Amino acid sequence: MLYHVRMDVRIPPDLDPAVRDALIAREKEYSQQLQRSGKWPHIWRIAGEYANYSVLDVADHDELHQILSNLPLFPYMDIQVTALARHPSKVD
């Protein structure tokens, strides 16, 4: 199943800089692992924001929830999910 996901990151400005850097490093490692596995085939930064648009390709809603909730930055994110369906006019 494909999902379009918008993630807005809102790290508290008073978070210890070392904790912030460690979270961001873990986030990058985790997300790149998912990208290499094919679960996270697309990610785009939203210009001018600490946010991204992503497409995730997972088995079901539960797997999507597991992936998102395991993101190290999850506690600091606002996430919007849209399930995607194949468009009948798409050319293969």
Q: How far apart are CA 28 and CA 54, in angstroms?
A: 14
In which band, very low, low, confident or very high, does the pLDDT at 3 lie, cut at 50, 70 and 90?
Answer: very high
Report if residue 90 sits inside a domain: no
Report if residue 44 sits inside a domain: yes
Q: Which domain holds residue 31?
A: 2-84
Q: Give me 47's structure tokens.
A: 């210009």
Total-model pTM: 0.91
Mean pLDDT of 68-86: 97
Chain Cα centroid distance, residue 86: 21
In which band, very low, low, confident or very high, does the pLDDT at 60 lie, cut at 50, 70 and 90?
Answer: very high
Measured CA distances, 7 to 12, 43, 68 (Å): 16, 10, 10
Q: Give me 80's structure tokens.
A: 């919007």
Residue type, 33: Q
Q: DSSP label at 74?
A: G
- Count of domains observed in the chain: 1
Report if residue 52 sits inside a domain: yes
Report if residue 92 sits inside a domain: no
pLDDT score recorded for residue 92: 83
For residue 27, give the CATH number of its domain.
3.30.70.1060
Residue 59 has pLDDT above 90, yes or no: yes
